[in-house]
């Protein structure tokens, strides 16, 4: 059997380009498994379903190695398990060297393919790490410019101080105070602590 695996990093992204490439290889739509989540690890529902489905002699098509994952060590581990232990072929469409169906490869060809796999897996992981670093730097730069990130703070009601005093004097529970203010009890407790520091 021939299967396809596609992955995008979030529900907002579209897998159309991968689906077209897999269909062009003759993979039936019903045999294509799609995950919409990060490639940081292999804990993905559709990928797990695919692993349960495959049998020796089957073939898995993927568009590029980073669609399989972005963790160098895990890519190498899963590649070995699929191809060596499960005896299933993998074809990476963007990299013809990574086609384990090739029967006529000599030792040099196998060595080159292994090197290419290691390099591409390493690049996939470093790209993910660079993206996280760039994101962190962007957030830090925005904060330095005074940009406030996240949800805007809730306005403090006029009755808050009196309720905080009542709470600290054990005259009202945090839940009852939160109900009066129309907020959650956790938020009230945070505000109450801030007022306690000001007393």
HEC string for the chain? CEEEEEEECCCCCCCHHHHHHHHHCCCCHHHEEEEECCCCCCCCHHHHHHHHHCCCCCEEEECCHHHHCCCHHHHHHHHHHHHHHCCCEEEECCCCCCECCCCCCCHHHHHHHHHHHHHHHHHHHHHHHHHHHHHHHHHHHHHHCCCCCCCCCCCCCCCHHHHHHHHHCCCCCHHHHHHHHCCCHHHHHHHHHHHHHHC
Query: Taking residues 96-125, what's their average pLDDT?
Result: 71
- Poorest-pLDDT segment among 11-15, 21-25, 178-182: 11-15
> Domain for residue 155, yes or no?
no
103 compared with 163, residue with greater pLDDT:
163
pLDDT of residue 198 exceeding 60: no
User: Do residue 179 and residue 125 come from a single domain?
Assistant: no
Do 123 and 169 share a domain, yes or no? no
Which of residues 131, 147, 172 is at a domain's end?
131
Does one domain contain both 46 and 110? yes
Query: Which of 34-48, 90-104, 145-159 is predicted most confidently?
Result: 34-48
Question: Are both 73 and 171 inside the same structural domain?
Answer: no
* pLDDT score of 110: 63
The stretch 39-65 carries a mean pLDDT of 92
pLDDT band at 108 (very low <50, low <70, confident <90, very high): low
- Kindly state whether residues 81 and 171 are assigned to the same domain: no
Q: What would the mean pLDDT of 177-199 be, rounded to a whole number?
A: 82
Q: What angle do CA 136, 45, 37 make, to 5 degrees?
A: 25
Residues assigned a catalytic role: 9
Between residues 154 and 62, which one has the greater pLDDT? 62
* Residues 88 and 17 reside in one and the same domain: yes
Better pLDDT: 156 or 29: 29
Residue 89 shares a structural domain with residue 19: yes
Asked if 127 and 164 sit in the same domain, the reply is no
Of 47, 64, 72, which Cα lies nearest the Cα of 127? Answer: 72
Please state, in angstroms and rounded to a whole number, the distance separating the CA atoms of residues 174 and 188.
7
Domains of the chain: total: 2
Q: Please tell me the least confidently modeled range out of 59-73, 117-131, 147-161.
A: 117-131
Range with the poorest average pLDDT among 3-7, 49-53, 105-109: 105-109
pLDDT at 75: 84
In whole numbers, what is the pLDDT of the chain averaged over residues? 84
Query: With 90 as the cut, is the pLDDT of residue 4 above it?
Result: yes
Do 54 and 11 fall within a single domain?
yes
* Domain identity same for 8 and 69: yes
42 within some domain: yes
178 and 111 in a common domain: no
Q: Say what the pLDDT of residue 11 is.
A: 80
pLDDT at residue 124, as a whole number: 67
Which residue range is the domain that position 64 belongs to? Answer: 2-131
Q: Is there a domain that residue 151 lies in?
A: no
pLDDT cut 90: percent of the chain above it: 32
> Per-residue pLDDT for 186 more than 60?
yes
50 has a pLDDT exceeding 90: yes
């Amino acid at each position: 059997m021939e299967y396809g695996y596609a992955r995008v990093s979030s529900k907002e992204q579209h897998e159309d380009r991968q689906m077209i490439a897999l269909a062009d290889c003759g993979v039936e739509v019903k045999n294509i498994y799609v995950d919409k989540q990060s490639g940081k690890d292999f804990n993905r529902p559709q990928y797990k379903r695919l692993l349960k489905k495959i049998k020796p002699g089957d073939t898995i098509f993927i568009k590029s190695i980073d669609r399989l994952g972005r963790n160098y060590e895990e890519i190498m581990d899963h590649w070995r398990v699929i191809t060596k232990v499960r005896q299933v072929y993998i074809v990476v469409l963007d990299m013809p060297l990574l086609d384990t169906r090739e029967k006529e490869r000599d030792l040099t060809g196998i060595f080159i393919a292994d090197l290419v796999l290691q390099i591409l897996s390493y690049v996939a992981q470093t790209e993910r790490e660079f993206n996280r670093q760039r994101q962190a730097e962007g957030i830090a730069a925005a904060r330095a410019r005074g940009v406030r990130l996240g949800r805007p703070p809730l306005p403090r009601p006029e009755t808050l101080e009196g309720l905080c005093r009542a709470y600290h004097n054990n005259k009202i529970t945090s839940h009852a105070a939160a109900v009066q203010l129309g907020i959650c009890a956790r938020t009230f407790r945070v505000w109450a602590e801030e007022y306690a520091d000001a007393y």
